[in-house]
Structure 1
Amino acid sequence: MEWTGARYADKPTVEVRTWIDATPDRVWALVSDIAVMPTMSEELQSVEWLDGAEGPAVGARFLGRSRHDSFGEWSTTSHVIECEPGHVLAWAVEDPTDPSAVWRFRLRPRDGGTELSEWMQLGPGRSGLSFAIDTMPDKEQKIVFVRLREFERSITATLEQIKQRAEA
């Protein structure tokens, strides 16, 4: 797990890795199936492809609905910005030129299985976290730290579920 940055404008990131005793193709089948992601997340409630898309491809869009005790309920439109089957899937949340977040799964063959990492970056575009920072600018570093810790826990849990499903 790695973190960088302390303020929102720094585009702080978090990344978690795991090794899975399964082929990259088997792992890819799970990480590229966005419909399965809400079953592995407390925050993400539902996901659906938009514009007739049926799977990931650069430029494809999907709608995600989320819920958080502190932020309430919201929805976002994400844009696939990288898609290399068996290797990488990344999407920008809301505006792809100024995203509120960027998420990326990266798969690498390793030791007869797959190293899977999930990485996310806050900002630079505004998000729900921006409103919390606006109301308490003196607490910005703590707000960012707490949110990154939440993402770390969530990503760790998601990777564990992907691992269990891929190895089953």
Structure 2
Amino acid sequence: MLSAEGPRVGCDGHMEAGPSRVWGLVTDIGLPARLSPELRRVPWLDGAKGPAIGARFAGYNHHRLVGDRRTVSHVVELEDQRVFGWVVVDPDGRYGDSAPDPAKPLVAWRFELEPEGADSILRQAVRIGPGRSGISLAIDRTPERGEAIVAFRLAELRTNIEATLLGIKALAEEAR
């Protein structure tokens, strides 16, 4: 069920703003904390000042079923004004992996930006796994509900992505 390919969900939105304006919002890692129902706070780690391959940031999250948790993200894709991607690991071993490994993330997130005339198309997507996560714990407890658990989480993630894209759209377009 949670194979290396992993379940995924994504959405896209048309922004009546140029790619440079949208890109500035996409790469502001603190912005999703203002827009997402789960993410609360996001500081850069190790003295990083902005996105760069290998840069890390912490995510402080709250979920009504899982409670508070901390993650660490590693920037793994960065193509100026095109792609910003990161993988999320569990630094505290909360889900059973004692050594966080970016090659086996809880999830992988990605923004992809495409110019469309003077406007932009922004895509955001997430892939679950292959590392263990809260979904893994839920499936361990009730394996017969595995597909329903994954579907429920994907629906939550879609809602979070839609909220983030709508927030970015509003901010990008208000600056026109």
Q: Which of residues 128, 132, 143 is equivalent to 2:149?
A: 143
Report the secondary structure of 1:34's partner residue.
coil
Moved over 4 A (4+): none
Instruction: Give the Cα–Cα distance (whole angstroms) in 2 for the partners of residues 37 and 164 of structure 1.
Output: 13
The alignment's TM-score, normalised by the length of structure 2, stands at: 0.90
* Partner residue, 2:139: 133
Corresponding letter in the other structure for 1:8: L
**C-alpha deviation, 1:110, in angstroms:** 1.0
Could you give the per-residue CA deviations for residues 57-85 of structure 1, whole angstroms, max 9, x where no partner exists?
Answer: 00000000000101111000000000112
* Partner residue, 1:52: 47
More strand by share: 1
* Partner residue, 2:163: 157
Per mean C-alpha deviation after superposition, the further-off stretch among 56-65 and 106-115 is 106-115
Could you give the per-residue CA deviations for residues 64-112 of structure 1, whole angstroms, max 9, x where no partner exists?
Answer: 0000101111000000000112111000011211111000000000132
**Which runs of 5 or more structure 1 residues have no equivalent in the other structure?**
1-6
* Partner residue, 2:20: 25
**What is the alpha-carbon root mean square deviation over aligned residues?**
0.8
**C-alpha deviation, 1:37, in angstroms:** 1.5
* Partner residue, 2:56: 61
**Which runs of 5 or more structure 2 residues have no equivalent in the other structure?**
90-100
**C-alpha deviation, 1:157, in angstroms:** 1.0
Within a 5 Å distance, the mapping from 1:66-105 to structure 2 comes to 66-94=61-89, 95-105=101-111
Q: Which of residues 19, 32, 40 is equivalent to 2:35?
A: 40
Could you give the per-residue CA deviations for residues 12-43 of structure 1, whole angstroms, max 9, x where no partner exists?
Answer: 00010001010111001001001122001110
The alignment's TM-score, normalised by the length of structure 1, stands at: 0.94
| Same amino acid, percent of matched pairs | 44
